[in-house]
Amino acid sequence: MSNSLVLAPAPRSEAAERVRAEVREFLAAELAAGSFRTHVDTWLSGVDPEFSRKLGERGWLGMTWPKKYGGHERTAMERYAVTEELLAAGAPVAAHWIADRQSGPNLLRYGTEKQREEILPRIVRGECFFVIGMSEPDSGSDLASIRTRASRNESGDWVVNGAKVWTSNAHASHYGIVLVRTSPADPANRHAGLSQLLVDLSLPGITVNPIRILDGGHHFNEVVFEDVVVPGDMLLGTEGDGWHQVTAELAFERSGPERFLSTYPLIAEFGRRVVDTGDAAQLAALGRLSARVLALRQMSLRIAAALDRGELPNIPAALVKDVGTTFEADVIEEVRRVVDVTPSLDSPDTLARALAEAQLHQPGFTLRGGTNEILRGIVARGLGLR
């Protein structure tokens, strides 16, 4: 098989297992205290700044970042264990998720010293939340076609006009890393002329309009920029290098356990049901699902180990996300095939509720962070086909 798709097995990390045990203990105590209720897909829908601050206190945000920015200089394998435990428990992690997963690493890679010193310690404390400013009303999969523009004014600041969409939790976040066009589109080089700006979402001229998803939840937004003046020193990285920078972000965005565990709380409920019934068909279905979880964990762990080696495995990350998000949706059908249950968001039956949540969130799994068609195109490139 093509080498670009293959990563070395992840060595078992004792440090990761130690922190895993700590997180498990913390989550059990929080659940017992009623500080949160388990839900499906909580890295999109579970916004709880108080919970995020508790994680910050424990040292579970910015785990891999340098200590001088408040980080903990731990391994990607340790961070993997923490994120995986939080997702499996269906804990409310959405508030800080983007900042911890990709905005912080993006700042570490491309930010100025001032930007890092100002923002990273706040992310680590669970006090500063980020949004991704990529998609636009007319630019989904074709990200290079974005039209939000930023131009320098006479004082050297950026003036931003345009709109971003599907901006998760913009109404509860502090900053966005916004991809903008800083020079006119060049048909000969579509990826040129794009830049990333670090935008304070409280700036005048920014309007956040809610967009409700299928279950009525408000997570998505449209973020409109009307002559928003962004200070000149809030350029992230290099002017015109935005495409390259966005691509580097994707190894972080696409490879984590949230790409196969969004519906794990449904599997957990299903597991409890199987214990109750002892039904042979249900047992087999749970076994099939479990084998897929185990394979996806190994794939995702290999990515974490590659990140620890300083690699940016974009192609394997695209592949994991394709396989993982397909799995997240398949969970629903596997359960439905062997359990007679009617999904309902307000059912007293926890399985019926988890199934309802999973179903109404399911279309998003294979869209967000790059559609599976786009991902498969990247994998095809890895196979040498394009």
> Considering beta carbons, is residue 181 or 353 the nearer one to another protein?
353
Task: Quote the least distance from Cβ 90 to another protein, whole Å.
Answer: 11
> Considering beta carbons, is residue 116 or 292 the nearer one to another protein?
292
> Considering beta carbons, is residue 197 or 317 the nearer one to another protein?
317
> Considering beta carbons, is residue 280 or 345 the nearer one to another protein?
280
Find out whether 64 and 125 touch, Cβ atoms under 8 Å. Answer: no
> Considering beta carbons, is residue 29 or 284 the nearer one to another protein?
284
> Considering beta carbons, is residue 236 or 251 the nearer one to another protein?
251
Task: Quote the least distance from Cβ 307 to another protein, whole Å.
Answer: 16
Q: Which residues, 6 or more positions from 203, have their beta carbon under 8 angstroms from its beta carbon?
A: 228, 229, 230
Task: Quote the least distance from Cβ 159 to another protein, whole Å.
Answer: 39
- Tokens 């999973």 locate to 358
Task: Quote the least distance from Cβ 314 to another protein, whole Å.
Answer: 14
Task: Quote the least distance from Cβ 213 to another protein, whole Å.
Answer: 26
What is the three-class DSSP state of 173? coil
Task: Quote the least distance from Cβ 268 to another protein, whole Å.
Answer: 6
Find out whether 208 and 223 touch, Cβ atoms under 8 Å. Answer: yes
Q: Write out the DSSP string of 238-301.
A: -TTBHHHHHHHHHHHHHHSGGGT-TTHHHHHHHHHHHHHH--HHHHHHHHHHHHHHHHHHHHHH
Task: Quote the least distance from Cβ 26 to another protein, whole Å.
Answer: 15
Distance CA 270, CA 235 (A): 48
Q: Which residue(s) pair with 222 in the sheet?
A: 209
Task: Quote the least distance from Cβ 377 to another protein, whole Å.
Answer: 6
Query: Which tokens is 17 given?
Result: 């297992």
Query: DSSP state, 137?
Result: T
Count of CB atoms within 10 A of residue 295's CB?
Answer: 14
> Considering beta carbons, is residue 123 or 268 the nearer one to another protein?
268
> Considering beta carbons, is residue 274 or 341 the nearer one to another protein?
274
> Considering beta carbons, is residue 180 or 379 the nearer one to another protein?
379
For the stretch 152-181, what's the b/e string if a residue is b when 16 or more beta carbons lie within 10 angstroms of its beta carbon?
eeeeebbbbbbbbbbbbbbbbbbbbbbbbb
Q: Which residue(s) pair with 230 in the sheet?
A: 158
Distance CA 221, CA 202 (A): 15
Distance CA 218, CA 209 (A): 10
Distance CA 249, CA 243 (A): 10
Task: Quote the least distance from Cβ 149 to another protein, whole Å.
Answer: 31
Task: Quote the least distance from Cβ 301 to another protein, whole Å.
Answer: 8
Footprint on this chain of another protein (rule: CB under 8 A)? 1-2, 5-6, 9, 20, 24, 84, 88, 264, 267-268, 271-276, 280, 283-288, 290-299, 302, 316, 319-320, 322-323, 326, 373, 375-377, 379-380, 382-386
> Considering beta carbons, is residue 148 or 263 the nearer one to another protein?
263
Find out whether 61 and 122 touch, Cβ atoms under 8 Å. Answer: no
Distance CA 91, CA 95 (A): 11
